[in-house]
Structure 1
């Protein structure tokens, strides 16, 4: 087995492997990024972010593993990778190797009355501290990943349980956006920008089927649900028919062509009678907020594969889009040029606005259907550099505080952005909650990338 020792946070540290008797460090000679990718994936730690060489060993004797690993990056675990013995059993090195992975999370538990079981409040160990997760955008797909990861079967419901957390500093405002097929919660897309105010006890909870094989309610394909069953959508039974939902080709996980996975095929929905009530179910099911737009005529491009649903007639209250009344599963009279799509309120996009420059201008974020500005306080170099990278404008940049005030009015969407080294996009950076007027117009950020 492999382990990361002595890092400043979970999922980072010196690479060591177990000889059967003791942990032995791996040398930095010929250690490559693909090998780091395999280690991060095997540990459920996301993707490799950095490989640091010349690191001090734990013990003074400097014993190192007597083989080099030559992974290609796709192997399921380190021991499957090709290995080359070092000449004379001595590997050439200038120190230990340290790997940092993208996940800052290491453990998960469900807590009820102080004991950890297969139902309860979702808590995650973030950089060594247990924190409850906010129920903002908490979906059955997220819950299903949690249940599977904990060996607790599948998710049956996401009840709004009583919260067990006392202080606000024990709450995490990160939001996960799972399809439901992921092996680890932290493999799902994450957003933290515009964090929700969770101080009122709105905590994520899950009820799993347990490790015993429990018979789960089946999905009905074409019949509408009896009135009153699962009206809230929050405590609806989880479908055991292995269907999944996603949005594609929209530039983010909260906008795009609607696709459903069934029997190993991703298929689409026809736009006959497609409207905001139908889109509302999709957005809620994906934890993407409210529906802003129900797009028709393959607005996000034509899909391929089967067309799973047609003549959809949702009330807007259903828990899953395939539980809405329709022609029946797989029955349609459409072609892919009629593929349905949605734009949800949590869809995010980023741009710079200026009259003549490509990589300098007023920073704007698209949120809740509107472009608005971003506040510059307390934006540091690390945040500005990340924004430049995300926009394809190089690796560094600076704030320009001396630009004249902008004309016109717009929302000032977000303030207090503080990105960390491990964040790979602006959406993962912590900030204050979304607010229509987060700062005054004179505090809007103007960025020049180098």
Structure 2
């Protein structure tokens, strides 16, 4: 995916409630889908340029779906049909609507996004409990294709309830029916639910099909959950000298609150810092970064160090404390803070070459060529959809005019974005524009990595291909034995038989190729005619597979 120059950074504002002007559509299961926003009376999409987990968090939280677990690019849930409303979205995390986040003004200026760049999200939970006496019980409602709906109690039992409760952070649950917590008003979205107990999401359980039922709301299912309710918390650092330190604040129920420093130590700080992309951290107390002003949400935090989120750590209970804001906890994080950078190539003869420029704080800047080599160039090129690259410096593509943003870049070659590579620090350099780095990128050469997944043996399975730094699937449109033969021969087998309709289960990454039409002479899947990468009209129930013959 190539990025062009953007002209203005602005904010689109709306007075409409966040839940009514944002929806997730065409997801395969609960709490996921293509992000669509209501603007000027019409639903449109969000371009995936600069779309990251912080932005996805705002979307998920605004819909009541918890924190985001994935921010997807490349229209993984299909391409939208309305206007592309937002691009270059950049949320800080404290916004209540995606419209409050910084963004590039697509309403006024030329759009540089295609439908294959529609952004999507997967949220922590597409399930909520409604009308119970507290957060541990209620009528089960699920979010699917832009709306909340209920679950019918046909065959509803404690196993099903357990899946719901564990997905919400509880230990177990008891299923109740007959609208024990009152009747819902939305669609009845699930019926004949039958969980095994091993599922992590209610949408993974066997059911009659989304929207298929023979029920009335008098049969709405509910649960009573028991045991611990750990929550994945959105965390930010406030009032530090830079983004690596500050007072720890966590987000709950529409507002930010603080953490008390009772028992706060470096282990707890490490969990916070690693969740923010740093390597480690030091805990500080006594309001070292000033006193917060909102609720104190956590106290007696005790992490083991293995947790991935502060909400997983033992604590006194949400909102339970004996503290004042003079005891607000903070952290000082150290080492790497990985950042996904927007990259473009400028002043080359075509889109495969040029001076490397990266986007920061509303403007484009350059990269110094100190230690710049082919490994660094390869990371840039692969992030732009090419197979490999050669690094060049010393004015190969002319001098840039913005700030020099990176120097002493040293990639290992495994990174998927230039921001993940070691460097001197953002804006730290000893260079001039006569040292601006560039690249020559090269297309695929038949070395794309393939794998077969979920087969009964290693000769069969769902076809997955590693492309642009991510594993993804192939759509079964036009998929036939000729295509399967190319895959199987590239894996060392003699021939293959094509299967479709996700016979080996549905994948979870992007759908990378569609309308593949190989000829018998093709030696690699990426040589076969197909739609452009990530350009498809498919869902994962169309994932292609093969059975290879030795």
TM bucket by the smaller chain? 0.3 to 0.5
Which structure is richer in relative contact order (CA contacts within 8 A, separation 6 or more)?
A: 1
Q: TM-score, normalised by structure 2?
A: 0.31
Q: TM-score, normalised by structure 1?
A: 0.36
